[in-house]
Structure 1
């Protein structure tokens, strides 16, 4: 899924996502480490809402498969601390080693093959410096099961109908989204479909260990000390 027309209104729909909370969590993890290098690889950077915060402290390589998303990012951010790459994050390889690799906002859920999950984790491990940190999050099955089947909302000049279909057998959630974007006195309709895959906590931890990560911590909702059972979003910290 490449977020085609969705990219143009993505920021409006993410108005209630707390990027500051995510950044604060990441910064606390980095500050508590012994890392000195401040190079960060951000996988699935989208329109750069987290990137904007990261570049104030770190040198960032931002990767996304969607040119539309990256175009919006580039229109918002101009910094010598930023390099932007249009690439599939599963097999992205860089000329740098990083102190941290990040993948937030359920980007990893869009990887629907366990083989590709392992490939992503292995590539990430290889691109981290010693003691480097990989932080990413995943939407959980609990979230998809508890979501409303149909959600209707209006943000500024965008009206949308968001339908969720969770396939319990295949562990996949399909987002079916009809957008109506106001242009003058008319609305333009377009449709997108997104599919996210659910992975068990055990599978994720076992796969991280299998590629070499030696220390793995699991949190909920970018909060320290919060119970992870029945969490809607699990956050992983894996150390090389």
Structure 2
């Protein structure tokens, strides 16, 4: 069974690579069309190309999730350790999710403690985790606010994402960090996704020697909290 699982993970990794290459080409050409490289497009064509681009990016995100999970399961995901700024990770995340929050009329605020030390870890992967948490908060919250807080406590960075969304039932809280799991209600299913984002985030945080969890009351929002050592050692680079 273990050998079969490894073969499955390797197959998924290879297939994801094969899917990403032509999709990146499609996205590249749509970008050229949007930029007017081949001449000005009629308004209807612009709308159509924009939809192709948006759906292509969504599909690429799904493929990347499958690729990340297959790499983790095959033991091929490694951390690129470097010095990083938690403040920069938070700012990058806010920049990425702010347009959707604004379009939904949501308040989005970030508070980063002053004089935080430089961390050592995989900045790109940690940004991926925070983007997943903040993106989910914006996606599932229909009114109210999302707050992102970052501080250093007892040798660890503590990053919190708090929302005023629908909340998560206790039975679902035990499942959402498992692969292919989503909160099982109709409104959540309508939002789409693979159910892999939190599972991948958990593995990335654990690879850093940290923890991630959720506190939530159904109907009263959710608080996701991750704690990671400020300085990650070379011995935790591989999954």
With normalisation by structure 2, the TM-score equals 0.25
- Point out the structure with the larger strand share: 1
- Greater relative contact order (Cα < 8 A, sep 6+): 2
Larger radius of gyration, structure 1 or 2?
Answer: 2
